[in-house]
Amino acid sequence: MDDLSVFAGSVSPLNIACVGEAMIELSFAGPGIENPRIAFGGDSMNTAIYLKREIGDVGQVSFVTRLGRDVFSRKMLDFMEAEAIATGNIVLDENKLPGLYSIMTDERGERTFSYWRDNSAARGLFQEKDAIDFSVLDGFDLVYYSAITLAILPVSVREAFLDWLAGRRAEKKLLVAFDSNYRPALWPGPAQARHWTERAWRCCDIALPSADDEKALFGDTDFSGTIRRLQGYGVGLGALKRGESGPLPLGLAGELPVFEPAEKIVDTTAAGDSFNGAFLGALLLGADMVKALERGHARARATVGFAGALGGRKW
C-alpha cells in the first residue's frame, strides 16, 4: 500500500485497528472530589470512537487491547459496542483489571490527570504464554497507535512491535498512523521517550503530532522546525496539531482556511484524539488535505465544549 488512494472510493470496507489502553475515567467538576462522573477513556479508544463516527458504515474500526473479566471491563465492552466499535480482538484476562485515571479541570478547561495503571491488563498486549504474538493485527488495512501504547509495553514487546510494523509496511500490506502523545510519567526519562518516539515516526505513513508534545520532547522552537524534523524522518503525510490555532499540514495542501478557536472550553480532554479520528476518517474517505484538516479541527472544537473524553456519555 503506497498511499491512501487505495482506500478512496474503494468497494471493500475499510478495516482499521486502533491499539492501546482503555481505562476507567473519573472526572470532577471543580476542585472538589465529591460525586465523580464515571465513564471510560484512553487516547487510542477515543480516537477509535471518533474515527468510527466519521466513517460510519464505510468501514470497521476495531479496538485492540486487553481487559479483565470484572464488571468495569464488561461495561467498557458494552460501551464500545454501543459506539459500533468491533471488540472481537480484545483479550480478557481473568487475573487483571483495567487502569483508572481521574480528571480535574480548572476554570479555563485545562485538565490535571492522575493515573492508576501500573498493573493494568493492557500492559500484557501481544503477550501469550510467554510468547510475543501480533497475529491479532493480521488482516487490517491500517493500524493506529500512540506513544502511550508504546510506553505501556515491555521493552522487548515494544521492539518487536515496531519491527513487525516495519515489516508489514515494507511488504505494502499495512498503513500505519501514529500520535506521539507524550506522557512523561510513563517513561523512565525523556531520552527513552525520544528514542522510541523517533523510531515510531520513522515507521509511519500518517503522522498526528501535537506541537506541545513535540516541543516538550524534542525541544523544537517553532512549528516549521517541527515539520522539517518530521519530514527528515520520512514523514510525508499528516497534521501538526496546534490547539486553538488550528493544524498545519505535514504534506502538500492548498490554501489553508482560517481555523476559528472554540466558542466555549469546558474540558480539553480528548481534543487531540477527536481531531485524529475525524482527520483520519476524512482522509480515508477520500477528502483532500484541507478538507481533512477542517474536519479534524471542527471535531476538536466541539469536543472541548463538553466534559470528559467522549461527550459526557455514561454507562
Give per-residue pLDDT as tens, 144-159. 999 999 999 999 999 9
- Catalytic, out of 141, 179, 213, 273: 273
**Is 273 an active-site residue?**
yes
pLDDT confidence tier of residue 115, bands split at 50, 70 and 90: confident
pLDDT of res. 257: 87
- Whether the pLDDT of residue 113 is over 90: the answer is no
Phi, psi of 221 (to 5 degrees): -100, -15
Contact partners, residue 231, CB within 8 Å, separation at least 6: 250
Q: How far is CA 278 from CA 147, 273, 300, in A?
A: 19, 9, 9
- Which amino acid makes up residue 181? N
pLDDT at 112 over 90: no
- What average pLDDT does range 176-200 have in this prediction? 96
Helix, strand or coil, per DSSP, at residue 155: helix
**pLDDT at residue 268 in the model:** 75
Phi, psi of 130 (to 5 degrees): 65, 15
Overall pTM > 0.75: yes
pLDDT in tens, 267-312: 777 899 999 999 999 999 999 999 999 999 999 998 888 776 776 4
Q: Look at residue 114 and give its three-state secondary structure.
A: strand
Long-range contacts of 210-217, Cβ-Cβ distance < 8 Å, separation of 24 or more? 210/179, 210/180, 210/181, 210/240, 210/241, 210/242, 210/272, 211/240, 211/241, 211/242, 211/243, 212/243, 213/180, 213/181, 213/182, 214/180, 214/240, 216/182, 216/184, 217/180, 217/182, 217/190, 217/193
pLDDT at 254 over 70: yes
CATH 3.40.1190.20 is right for the domain spanning 4-19+44-64+132-303: yes
CB 247 within 8 A of CB 259: yes
* Segments making up each domain of the chain, as ranges: 4-19+44-64+132-303
Phi, psi for 114 (deg, rounded to 5): -130, 140
Axis crossing angle, helix 271-284 with helix 289-303, rounded to the nearest 10: 150
CA distance linking residue 283 with residue 184, whole number of Å: 30
What pLDDT does residue 9 have? Answer: 41
In this prediction, residues 5-34 reach a mean pLDDT of 74
